[in-house]
Structure 1
Amino acid sequence: MFHKEGHKIILVTFGIVVAAFLLIDSFVAVQWVRTTIMVVLLLFLILILQFFRNPKRRTALNELQVISPVDGKVVVIEEVEENEYFKDKRIQVSVFMSPVNVHVTRYPIGGKVVFSKYHPGKFLVAWHPKASEENERTTVVVENERYGKVLHRQIAGALAKRIVNYAKVDDVALQGGESGFIKFGSRVDLFLPLNSNIKVQLNQKVRGGESIIAEINE
């Protein structure tokens, strides 16, 4: 199953590969050159299909837990000052996505969308310390009565030139439901209350919609 954001790109890529195969067969006489080009084109098509896959995830709904919004590797766990929305200290947990990860962004908690904003910006590599504040990004805050407010931020990277954000203020967010998509590699930052009990470690691989990032004790 492929994500709707990739349907046009997949169709165009498939058409280009088919056309290239026909041209290569007609105009490239050297067998090993023809075979090499065809293999490269097939690998490129497979990479595009891999990137836009949209596997089903089973989210165990829990208002006291924050789940990972994306697939990837945990690269940051630290207390920081969040300057856009909260303007106070929060625990930041960042998940880096490689081009081969699933790039669907999911709501980390269920509740009401209270903030959603797009920011144009740079395209620094996703692991750059200033990427969270200087790169193209979207910021979404969801609130529920039991956990409070959780901010997740989609951040474009050096390759990611398009961020798709579905969240609108006053939307009802379903935990694990789709909130957006990032095309071609990037990262997502979570900003959590200081009393959150973090359940992941640095360099741990997580699955969007399933892995528990944190929980809070009432």
Structure 2
Amino acid sequence: MTIHREGYKILLVALFLVLAINHAVFRWLSWPDWADYTVLGVTVFFFLVILQFFRNPIFTVSKNPKQILAPVDGKVVVIENTHEGEYFKDERIQVSIFMSPVNVHVNRTPVGGVVSYFKYHAGKYLVAWHPKSSTENERTTTVVKMENGVEVLFRQIAGALAKRICWYIKEGDAIEQGAEFGFIKFGSRVDIFLPVGTKIVAELNQVTKGGRTVIAEWS
């Protein structure tokens, strides 16, 4: 387990605030001891909450071109046929995974191949489970073309608390299945759009692990 690079600056600021607040409380305020230690406990808890949000587990990805892996840790909240209007402009199977603030927020590619399309969209900050968040919230859309010619679209979506989407890919990049491609800060959602007929093995409300849980399989 390591700390993700997106958390370095935020954690330094948080640590400075914790130290500054407790220095002021213990040195300048004439409070009872129990009040001093209550402030210490609350501020340390605050720092640990932020620290756990940026944890980055280390593991080996079991690559399989016949499987689609979960892009993030979270819970499956949508499995349905829907019209994908940005790139494919036809019917696709949508699988959506919601991440709470306590989940690991590293984003991983569900399949390997070449990035054939990428676009960032500015937008709103509706709650991540809102039906319109997929088309109205701040988001990125990535399409990866696999060696067999099949294209898979996945979309980072900001939520009510997520005010920054980070990505590390661009069109033309070759990426491996399970590789890190982005990060969304403080709660969010990722949608995957698969060809109709793809065998979905995930279930609604299933807990997923990014880069490890199998979402779907090619027949």
TM range (shorter): over 0.9
Q: Which of structure 1's runs of 4+ aligned residues deviate more than 3 A?
A: none
* Residue matched to 1:63: 65
Gapped runs of 5+ residues in structure 1?
Answer: none
The answer to whether the aligner puts 1:187 opposite 2:180 as a matched pair is no
Distance (whole Å) between structure 2 residues aligned to residue 57 and residue 125 of structure 1: 31
Distance (whole Å) between structure 2 residues aligned to residue 178 and residue 147 of structure 1: 22
Deviation at 1:195, TM superposition (A): 1.6
* Residue matched to 2:13: 12
Deviation at 1:57, TM superposition (A): 2.7
Amino acid in the other structure paired with 1:26: R
* Residue matched to 2:173: 171
1:144-196 deviation digits (Å, cap 9, x = unpaired): 13371111100000000000011200000110101100000100000001121
Distance (whole Å) between structure 1 residues aligned to residue 152 and residue 53 of structure 2: 27
Paired residue secondary structure (2:56): coil
Paired residue secondary structure (1:85): coil
Q: For residues 1-218 of structure 1, what are the structure 2 equivalents within 5 Å?
A: 1-28=2-29, 29-146=31-148, 148-217=150-219
The answer on whether the counterparts of 1:65 and 1:213 sit within 8 Å (CA) in structure 2 is: yes
Report percent identity of matched pairs. Answer: 56
Distance (whole Å) between structure 1 residues aligned to residue 144 and residue 167 of structure 2: 14
Deviation at 1:48, TM superposition (A): 0.8
Distance (whole Å) between structure 2 residues aligned to residue 57 and residue 195 of structure 1: 31
1:27-72 deviation digits (Å, cap 9, x = unpaired): 3322222222211111110011100011113211111111000000
Distance (whole Å) between structure 2 residues aligned to residue 187 and residue 35 of structure 1: 37
Distance (whole Å) between structure 1 residues aligned to residue 117 and residue 149 of structure 2: 16
1:116-157 deviation digits (Å, cap 9, x = unpaired): 110000000000000000000001110113371111100000
Distance change (3 Å), C-alpha of 1:77 and 1:159: same
Deviation at 1:3, TM superposition (A): 0.5
Paired residue secondary structure (1:176): coil
The answer on whether the counterparts of 1:81 and 1:89 sit within 8 Å (CA) in structure 2 is: yes
Q: Which moved more, 1:137-146 or 1:23-32?
A: 23-32
Q: Which moved more, 1:70-79 or 1:29-38?
A: 29-38
Paired residue secondary structure (2:80): strand
Q: Which moved more, 1:147-156 or 1:174-183?
A: 147-156
TM-score, normalisation: structure 2: 0.97
Q: Which moved more, 1:146-155 or 1:99-108?
A: 146-155
Distance (whole Å) between structure 2 residues aligned to residue 182 and residue 57 of structure 1: 20
Q: Which moved more, 1:26-35 or 1:1-10?
A: 26-35
Q: Which moved more, 1:94-103 or 1:141-150?
A: 141-150
When the two structures are aligned, how many residues end up with a matched partner? 217
Deviation at 1:19, TM superposition (A): 1.2
Paired residue secondary structure (1:170): coil
The answer on whether the counterparts of 1:118 and 1:138 sit within 8 Å (CA) in structure 2 is: yes
Distance (whole Å) between structure 2 residues aligned to residue 114 and residue 57 of structure 1: 27
* Aligned-residue CA RMSD (Å): 1.0
Distance (whole Å) between structure 2 residues aligned to residue 57 and residue 86 of structure 1: 33
